[in-house]
Amino acid sequence: MKRPEMLGRVQAHSNAWDMIVVGGGATGVGVAIDAATRGYEVLLLEQSDFGKGTSSRSTKLAHGGVRYLEQGNIGLVMEALKERGLLLQNAPHLVSDLAFIVPNYDWWEAPFYGLGLKLYQLLAGKYGFGKSRLLSREETLEHLPTLKTEGLRGGAVYYDGQFDDARLLIHMVFTAFEQGATLLNYAEVTGLTKDSQGFVDGVVARDAETGEEFRARAKVVINATGAFSDRLRRTAEPSVAPMIVPSQGIHLVFGPEFLPGESAIMVPHTSDGRVLFAIPWHGHTLVGTTDTPIADATLEPVAMEQEIEFILSTAGQYLGKAPTRADVLSVFAGIRPLVRAAAVANTAALSRDHVIHIDSSGLMTIGGGKWTTYRHMAEDCVDQAATLAQLPERPCVTHHLNIHGFHASAGQFGHLAVYGSDAIEIRKLIEDDALLGEPLHPALPYVRAEVIWAARDEMSRTVEDALARRTRALFLNAGAALEMAPVVADLMAAELGWTEIVKAKQVAAFRDVASNYVLC
């Protein structure tokens, strides 16, 4: 995948596309895969990097949502559990099952959670992961040796899926591309064009690298901009009622010493009535999340002080050694694109989790949902879009579509496992030049070849792309990522022909962003 080639395709395309998708997160890229595999001509435009929005900032769980079960939303849980199973089948190099343990400190918790989690397991049917069961106090501590022992009675274990969100996304971009879609990052949609009857028939966009504006026509424009959805809707119709209620969630990342085993902790009820997870992820401990209403979405949201304190104190209630600010290696925030159901009057297709909404201008917006259900959301959306655009009806084929890099035993590639079969290409780079096998930082497993691969084949355009979303350095250890930046800039400069000035600007821009991930 090369950006200049994608841009060339856009410039050469004088006809109307069947569909233009705005937004390169899980939702938009999922729609691009679905549309391309049905044989529709599709263009996706992302204003920043693929996954720059919420889709790189999740808890990284492919899950049915235990908490929806408690709310009695069985249909939603079953749908998500099925998608979880399909995701594991279609991307085994990127999704794995993980044991989650609910520690029990009260007498009623074992029967209550034991029963609920058994139901959760049963609802997955043939898409089931491991079997849930009750654990003795000793077994619980074997799985979670760092758990607070005072008052601990035992635990309940259940299984869910875990993945690397930004990496899955880039493999999805690859998948869409291989199916014929054109996907361009750093291309912001700044306006929508309309036909003589006032219906949206295309977009005005700006290439962020050159500043040049371009136009593209489409039979239908799909707004998959997540928390930014209302902004694009207002471009077409300034008076539309908002449909998104943005809510921020943050995560703190610690070293592996806080969760040395291979199991995660799930706290079903925090003091603010939410679920809290502590999860082993890429050799670190990921703890989150919060749910803080915010006024408006920004592309680089910042964790609030009270959110940080909340996670530290809640984690401290469950861990033998309470983590402190000094232990935090990285902090990141994301924005949930929750849908305000009441605002959506003329809704074309409604599942309880996601919403497909068509404004009177003909702009189609897909909102809500979650990472886990992206494939199902895309299927619904493309069904509706094809009808709206009067395209020939074609069935969805993504149920059993392998995601790029598919590899049944990627574990053999060590830390390159997340690349699936692409790990072979990265190893070849190292075979040709042993220097590329050198680690970029002693605290993280990443090697130079990954930066080369990302710039050459994964449309990585900035130092931040390489450190935040192609590798996950920024999310795992922001201090280490800051130290890696100059070398990454050198490597990328050689690939992308940057001057010394561009290189310095890239490092400075990365430092700016990374400062939000470091706790002072």
Ligand X SMILES: Cc1cc2nc3c(=O)[nH]c(=O)nc-3n(C[C@H](O)[C@H](O)[C@H](O)COP(=O)(O)OP(=O)(O)OC[C@H]3O[C@@H](n4cnc5c(N)ncnc54)[C@H](O)[C@@H]3O)c2cc1C
Nearest-approach distance from CB 390 to ligand X, in angstroms: 25
Cβ proximity of 253 and 284 under 8 Å: yes
The residues that touch ligand X, with contacts defined as CB under 6 A, are 22-28, 45-48, 52-55, 58-61, 63, 188-189, 224-228, 232, 249, 289, 299, 334-337, 369-372
Radius of gyration for the alpha carbons in the chain, expressed in angstroms and rounded? 23
> At 87, which amino acid appears?
L
Residue 65: strand, helix, or coil? coil
> For residues 386 and 18, what is the distance between their CA atoms, to the nearest angstrom?
8
The residue among 71 and 149 lying less far from ligand X, judged by its C-beta, is: 71
The residue among 282 and 336 lying less far from ligand X, judged by its C-beta, is: 336
The residue among 141 and 335 lying less far from ligand X, judged by its C-beta, is: 335
> For residues 162 and 121, what is the distance between their CA atoms, to the nearest angstrom?
16
Nearest-approach distance from CB 475 to ligand X, in angstroms: 12
Nearest-approach distance from CB 281 to ligand X, in angstroms: 11
> At 134, which amino acid appears?
L
What residues pair up with 407 in beta bridges, in sequence order?
A: none
The residue among 81 and 416 lying less far from ligand X, judged by its C-beta, is: 81
Q: 204-221: b or e for each residue (b if 16 or more CB lie within 10 Å)?
A: ebbbeeeeeebebbbbbb
The residue among 50 and 113 lying less far from ligand X, judged by its C-beta, is: 50
> For residues 36 and 44, what is the distance between their CA atoms, to the nearest angstrom?
11
Nearest-approach distance from CB 300 to ligand X, in angstroms: 10
Nearest-approach distance from CB 425 to ligand X, in angstroms: 26
Return the number of other C-beta atoms located less than 10 Å from residue 360's C-beta: 11
What residues pair up with 62 in beta bridges, in sequence order?
A: 161
The residue among 51 and 116 lying less far from ligand X, judged by its C-beta, is: 51
Nearest-approach distance from CB 214 to ligand X, in angstroms: 13
Cβ proximity of 203 and 22 under 8 Å: yes
Secondary structure in 3-state letters for 194-259? ECCCCCEEEEEEEECCCCCEEEEEEEEEEECCHHHHHHHHHHHCCCCCCCEEEEEEEEEEECHHHC
The residue among 154 and 337 lying less far from ligand X, judged by its C-beta, is: 337
The residue among 299 and 494 lying less far from ligand X, judged by its C-beta, is: 299
198: DSSP letter: S
Instruction: Please provide the DSSP assignment of 450-472 as one string.
Output: HHHHHHHHS---SHHIIIIIIS-
Nearest-approach distance from CB 233 to ligand X, in angstroms: 11
> At 105, which amino acid appears?
Y
Nearest-approach distance from CB 366 to ligand X, in angstroms: 7
